[in-house]
């Protein structure tokens, strides 16, 4: 197959943040059903603690008998832990957005050739052999061509004039990988 295709694209911060969210979900997805997310784990332990305290504090279980100050003392560290985790996660995500008009975000041209993929922007030219391409995935209309576990070429949905054009590109890439 000796077909080439040339795409001029503009990757925006929104495209990149969608990609980052996709990567986080992909990497953090449990590989089996045994895994629980961090937040789910904290909530489960919190509920277990409250239930344990309730059952062993008094013989007859009534909401009015629950010792609320003790429950609050137990709940506050869990709430602080959850808030700090969410804040740090948001901060890390915000700080990891690449520079505007840099290597990841901005205008670029991607050429699909018989020997690989050539990406050109105002900072340079990057070439990936087809052997480097691990997979192609779609998210919210955007195509991600993974050339590593985390690194992907982002082709925004706006770069395609039709769904048929996107399917043609996916078929071209799948023919090589």
What does the alpha-carbon distance between residue 105 and residue 154 come to, in Å, rounded to a whole number? 9
What does the alpha-carbon distance between residue 126 and residue 144 come to, in Å, rounded to a whole number? 16
Q: What is the pLDDT of residue 25?
A: 85
Q: Going edge to edge, which strands form the sheet with 106-112? A: 5-11, 106-112, 116-121, 124-129
Q: What is the pLDDT of residue 119?
A: 94
48-101 per-position pLDDT tens digit = 888 877 776 655 556 666 777 888 888 899 899 999 999 998 898 888 888 888
At 142, the pLDDT band (50, 70, 90 cuts) reads: very high
Q: What is the pLDDT of residue 1?
A: 47
CB 147 within 8 A of CB 132: yes
């Amino acid at each position: 197959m000796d077909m080439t295709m040339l795409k001029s694209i503009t990757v925006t911060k929104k495209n990149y943040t969608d990609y980052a969210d996709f990567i986080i979900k992909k990497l953090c997805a449990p590989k089996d059903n045994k895994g629980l997310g961090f937040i789910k784990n904290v909530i489960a332990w919190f509920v277990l603690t409250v239930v344990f305290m309730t059952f062993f504090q008094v013989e007859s279980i009534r909401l009015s008998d629950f010792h609320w100050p003790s429950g609050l003392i137990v709940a506050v560290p869990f709430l602080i832990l959850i808030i700090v985790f969410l804040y740090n996660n948001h901060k890390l995500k915000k700080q990891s957005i690449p520079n505007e008009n840099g290597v990841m975000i901005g205008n670029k041209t991607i050429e699909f050739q018989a020997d690989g993929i050539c990406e050109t922007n105002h900072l340079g030219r990057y070439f990936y052999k087809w052997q480097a391409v691990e997979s192609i995935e779609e998210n919210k209309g955007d195509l991600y061509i993974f050339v590593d576990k985390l690194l992907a070429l982002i082709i925004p949905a706006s770069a395609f004039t039709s769904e048929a054009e996107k399917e043609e590109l996916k078929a071209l890439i799948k023919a090589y990988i």
